[in-house]
Amino acid sequence: MAFQLPSLPYEHSALEPYIDTLTMEIHHGKHHQAYVDNLNKAIAGTTNENKSLEELVANAGAISAAVRNNGGGHWNHSFFWKSLSPAGGEAPEGLLADDINATFGSFDAFKTQFNTAATSRFGSGWAWLIRKRADYLNAYWKVVDWKQASQLYTDNK
């Protein structure tokens, strides 16, 4: 069974004005779709053909670069879409908030370190993404789904 692009859990326009519709359409419909298509090509006719995405990614060190990179891209993007919400933003609460404060000193200090890590990470399209990336990070904080993040954090603690 070939992997398929998951639908977004909201409309492409749902994160406006922080993340615009065209960015979401390109990021989901073209970038993420390309990871799915290239993953399917990379596993076709191999022993990886019937494995789950989690099985592939869990064995990242033992699979080909094409499967690792495209499988990772598919998994990361699938996770990323679920980490955003039109009702997101604000700040985490509960255990996640407590541990962020204990680890980073404050939520703002965490955001600063997160933004620094993200803007200094190598990635494709680096030259033109540098200017976009800072704006995108600022927009990200407006739509991040802290309820979802807290649930995942608590469930896996």
CA–CA separation, 140 and 156 (whole Å): 23
Locus of tokens 């419909």: 29
Give the range of 23-31, 82-90, 107-115, 122-130 binding Fe ion by CB under 5 A.
23-31
Minimum separation from the CB atom of position 91 to Fe ion (A): 24
Least distance in angstroms from the C-beta of 11 to Fe ion: 18
Residue closer to Fe ion, measured from CB, 35 or 146 = 35
Tell me the torsion sign for CA atoms 129, 132, 134, 139: negative
The amino acid occupying position 90 is E
Least Å distance between CB 143 and Fe ion?
A: 15
CA-based R_g, the chain, Å: 17
The nearer residue to Fe ion, 19 or 67, going by C-beta atoms, is 19
Residues of each annotated binding site for Mn(2+): 27, 77
Q: Map tokens 């789950």 to a residue.
A: 52
Whichever of 6 and 107 has its CB closer to Fe ion, that residue is 6
Q: Which stretch binds Fe ion (CB under 5 A): 27-35, 103-111, 113-121, 140-148?
A: 27-35
Residue closer to Fe ion (CB basis): 31 or 132: 31
Candidate segments 28-36, 43-51, 96-104, 131-139, binder of Fe ion by CB under 5 A: 28-36
The sign of the CA dihedral 22, 27, 32, 35 is: positive
Q: What CA–CA distance (Å, rounded) separates 112 from 153?
A: 20
**What's the half-sphere exposure (Cβ side, CA atoms, 13 Å) at 130?**
5
Binding residues for Fe ion, rule: CB under 5 A, are: 31
